[in-house]
Amino acid sequence: MRVLFLGDVVGRSGREKVFQSLPDLRRRLALDFVAVNIENAAGGFGVTESICTDMFDAGADVLTSGNHIWDKREIIAYIDNEPRLLRPLNYPADTPGRGASLHEIGDGRRVLVVNVMLRLFMDALDDPFAAVEREIADMPLGYGADFILVDMHGEASSEKMAMGHLLDGRVSLVVGTHTHVPTADHAVLAHGTAYQTDAGMCGDYDSVIGMKKDAPIDRFTRKMPSARLEPADGDATLCGVFVETDDASGLARRIAPVRLGGQLSPAWPE
């Protein structure tokens, strides 16, 4: 199976880059499935129903999120009725929406997507490691699902690496989101799981993690309230990872970064 995961979409610039690029990416990479993290897609904070619809129309199969999922109040009613939009799995049990979903592609193969939020320097949610363990126990790779993708939304690289090694050999891809900076450690781990600590963002990198520079700089240098954070609106880089798996095992044959446009150096699967 050939799967593309795109990191956090930030603001209009990031959205437009994904909308423009994704149809061609699906064709050129012969993709079977696409997942996109959209928690910063609406003005840098949260997502709306109309943005989700546009993402699906552009070619996304499922949308993941993180700590900004509730920033636009309208999403609360929408998420309960849209299984393709996920919030972190380890929110309390009565939280609207779902943290994992199983998707069947056209040829009958099934993709399980799990969205979890980590805890170091983040909100204190339920144990993310135990939450993922329960989910994949109910839907094991090769039996319940042909591909398992885990989006781990978190700050600390150590916590993300621990999650990757814990799940090695039992899921297809473990990939991080939230820091908005693509890491250079994409690899197939010892037991066959594709891993990258953070996929990066789809947004303008002439910025401070996707935001116009002046307000964040002012906050750091003056330690005072400053202007509202606003997404940078220059030329965006699309950042993500491409994974190809063995159909018999569901484990990874290869993982490669994808970076297109904007300031960052380009990367493309060979």
Domain contains 10 = yes
pLDDT score at 157: 97
Domain contains 268 = no
Domain contains 215 = yes
Whole-prediction pTM value? 0.96
Kindly state the tokens that stand for 238: 């699309």
pLDDT score at 205: 98
Instruction: Give how many domains the chain has, as a whole number.
Output: 1
**Residue 54 binned pLDDT confidence (cut-offs 50, 70, 90):** very high
Q: Is 68 a catalytic residue?
A: yes
- CB-count burial class (<10 Å; 0-12, 13-18, 19+) for 199: buried
Mean pLDDT of 138-160: 96
pLDDT score at 270: 85
Proportion of the chain above pLDDT 90, given as a percent: 94
pLDDT score at 92: 94
Q: Which domain holds residue 218?
A: 2-260
Mean pLDDT of 55-66: 98
Task: Exactly one of 68, 103, 178, 180 is catalytic; name it.
Answer: 68
CATH label of the domain that carries residue 107: 3.60.21.10
Domain contains 269 = no
Domain contains 266 = no
**Residue 124 binned pLDDT confidence (cut-offs 50, 70, 90):** confident
Domain contains 265 = no
Domain contains 270 = no
Note the pLDDT tens digit of each residue in 200-229: 999 999 999 999 999 999 999 988 777 889
Q: Is the pLDDT score of 61 beyond 80? A: yes
Average pLDDT, the chain: 96
Domain contains 267 = no
